[in-house]
Amino acid sequence: MGAFDFPTAPDDQFAKFLAQSAAIEGERLQNAVPKEYFEPKVSRGLLGFAVSWLLYGGATVAVAFTHWAFWLPLWLLAGLGGWGLHCIAHDAGHGSFSRNRRLNTAVGHLSLLPLAYPFHAWRHVHNMHHSSTNHLELDTDWRPLPAGMFQRMPLRQKLVYLSTRTWAFWGGTINYWVESGFRPGFFPKESHRRDVRRSILFVAALGIPYFGALGYFTGWQGVLLYFVAPWIATHAWFSATTLMHHSASDIPYLTAEHWTRNASRLLVTTDYVYPKWLLFLTHNISIHTAHHVAPVIPFYHLPKAQQALKDRYPGMVREERFTFRQMWSIVRHLHFYDTESGYYQELSGTKVPPAPPAQAPGTPLAEAGR
């Protein structure tokens, strides 16, 4: 049992979810995926790494040689390249880029430079998400708070929570970076703290001379144009993608009483079908259920692995075609955890229940989402 006994009034939809969860309990989900899909091809991974660096670097440099009217689309393209690099770091962090740990670490550090993100800080927090996806008390990614807990938060935390779930959703991962990126003490294990300190030193060793040179030759305007704007655009891609994966009106967040590992891997992620060109540039990040089932599957094998899961568990893999209308619906309606139903409720319909006896679950990071 966990700290909470939610939902207090589950409906038929919640009962149906629990039935699906029970149906896969004890299954080795990864056994549905053929073993050859687990094998990395380093050359294919390096191709993705190169494509994303070219897109990020090319679009950023192009800002210097074009009229200001083209800056916004170029920043969005640079952000797409930066997000693609994050997706490469994602594979490196899970050991699916290669079977060589040193190569994974090197590629991960280099891939996160456009975000000035210490690789090991991101890696260790991300693994917390994988170990507790949609766990109301433990997940670190976009976990909703009950309205009663929100009411007890300090004003600054309230502003961060509400803004990153509404008009400033694009800044959710910026808050994530602020909370954990440069704080070794955030991590409970000493080995993790050592890793994070090394990653911070790497970012500082390259970042300080880079920003010094950029500021010297282009001034503060150049720092804004050639780093800050692409950095924000990368976070916008980062935030929108991860928010949509794990936010849906018909997927519950679960307390320890109802949470199971297999359900967290197979049933609580929504995969959005992108156009082929966007799948290529984002390295199949939207094919996310197969990744949760087996994080060591390289990104270029995810489509085949996903199909294998759909064949083995029909009706359990959630896929929808991406539309901006769906993104708008999420930021408009999905704000708080409804303690009665176990699902989301929106700001306008919030009923503030009595505050639970325990403290808000999880870490400060989770309060604003990722």
pLDDT digits (tens, 9 = 90+) for 36-64: 999 999 999 999 999 999 999 999 999 99
Model pLDDT for residues 226-254, shown as the tens digit of each residue: 999 999 999 999 999 999 999 999 999 99
CB proximity list for 218: less than 8 A, separation 6 or greater: 225, 226
Say how far residue 26 (Cα) sits from the centre of its chain: 27
Model pLDDT for residues 263-285, shown as the tens digit of each residue: 999 999 999 989 999 999 999 99
- Could you tell me what percent of the chain has a pLDDT over 90? 90
> Euclidean distance between the first and final Cα of the chain, in Å?
26
Model pLDDT for residues 16-28, shown as the tens digit of each residue: 999 999 999 999 9
CB proximity list for 369: less than 8 A, separation 6 or greater: 141, 142, 143, 161, 164, 165, 172, 175, 176, 243
| β-strand partners of 321 | 273
Q: Identity (one letter) of the amino acid at 259?
A: W
Between CA 306 and CA 289 the distance in angstroms is: 7
Model pLDDT for residues 287-346, shown as the tens digit of each residue: 999 999 999 999 999 999 999 999 999 999 999 999 999 999 999 999 999 999 999 998
